[in-house]
Amino acid sequence: MSRYFAKSSKWLALDLLRLMQSRSSRKRPAEKRAAAEKEEAAMVNGLPTPPCGLLTADAARSLVDSVDAFLFDCDGVIWKGDKLIEGVPETMELLRKMGKKLVFVTNNSRKSRRQYSKKFRSLGLEVTEEEIFTSSFAAAMFLKLNNFPPEKKVYVVGEDGILEELKLAGFECFGGPEDGKKNIKLEADFYFEHDKSVGAVVVGLDQYFNYYKMQYARICISENPGCLFIATNRDPTGHMTSAQEWPGAGTMVAAVSCSVQKEPIVVGKPSTFLMDFLLKSFSLETSRMCMVGDRLDTDILFGQSTGCKTLLVLSGCTSLPELQDASNNIYPDLYTNSVYDLVELLQK
């Protein structure tokens, strides 16, 4: 009995298939090579190419030619915590020299625009308050635009940035870091008092988040008639320090949202609210802007929904495998490692 008949029919079929494939490859080596090359070209990092373009020298040139303004996210794009990302000063210098308008749009509500301008200066970057759009500023502007009654107060689950922007806009507010020191004890018959004149609760990133604030926010939203529930943003994580990622404002928003069984009004990215303000400040067309960010579900979505071109940088919280993952359905126009690639590619 030949060795083939000694095998199961399954193995016999496989052997025949291999034989046919080897014959066919001998017959059509050029075709096979072309197919293999095509298959290889369709892979990045061992995974299928994302349906968006890698920033090449040609793509970089065509991008800068087609836009008048670059909108930069900050965490993970300009800096990580208090550490500047390599090549940022050179990139900003080159783009400014090319006559491009630079705008910084951040969801991080911990600082006000004045405080961010100070941070930029401390990192050796000259950026004015007018070039900075934060979600803390967006929260204050949302209340102003919606004629929030001056006799009402705002309760803040967040940090100084929100309190400062609200005060600058003329609103009375409280909470913030101060309430981070307050504790409660869940004892029998304990009744939690709250201010009935609170007409809005603003929730943002809060390193002093605690059970006291959760209850204050919950009770105002649930019991004060018409009380607004505003979220600066819903980022699940962020590079709050250069060493690692931390829970983002979205985690605090989720806690309050769960306790009131209500969805908030989101004023930061990907909401288009900030863009309305930006357009009032600068006479620019969104089609002539490029949003540069490290998050798909905030930066890139914000850029897309406002009609900007979009560039994802992999220097922050999105990795290439995450961009390529089958569960992802948000794709930028272009992607690259970091903003400094623009400088390197434009010099080629």
Binding site for Mg ion (CB under 5 A): 73, 75-76, 294, 316
Q: Minimum distance from CB of 13 to Mg ion (Å)?
A: 53
Which residue lies nearer to Mg ion by CB, 73 or 179?
73
If you search the block for the tokens 């009375």, which residue do you land on?
172
Which residue lies nearer to Mg ion by CB, 202 or 296?
296
Question: How many Cα atoms occupy the beta-carbon half-sphere of 116 within 13 Å?
Answer: 31
179 has binding-site annotation: no
Rounded Cα distance between 263 and 197, Å, is 21
Which residue lies nearer to Mg ion by CB, 314 or 346?
314
126 is written with which tokens?
């000259």
Rounded Cα distance between 149 and 161, Å, is 21
Q: Minimum distance from CB of 294 to Mg ion (Å)?
A: 4
Please check whether residue 140 is in contact with residue 235, taking contact to mean a CB–CB distance below 8 angstroms: no
Please check whether residue 341 is in contact with residue 55, taking contact to mean a CB–CB distance below 8 angstroms: yes
* Local structure of 186: helix, strand or coil: coil
Q: Minimum distance from CB of 201 to Mg ion (Å)?
A: 25
58 catalytically annotated: no
82 catalytically annotated: no
Q: Name the catalytic one among 75, 206, 333, 341.
A: 75
15 has binding-site annotation: no
294 has binding-site annotation: yes
Secondary-structure percent of the chain, ordered helix, strand, coil, rounded to 5 = 45, 20, 40
Q: Minimum distance from CB of 36 to Mg ion (Å)?
A: 38
160 has binding-site annotation: no
Looking at residue 8, the DSSP 8-state letter turns out to be -
Which residue lies nearer to Mg ion by CB, 73 or 131?
73
Strands 47-48 and 228-231: unpaired
Q: Name the catalytic one among 15, 58, 65, 73.
A: 73
* Local structure of 93: helix, strand or coil: helix
Instruction: Return binding residues.
Output: 73, 75, 269, 294
Residue ranges for the known binding site for substrate are 269
Q: Mind telling me the catalytic residues?
A: 73, 75
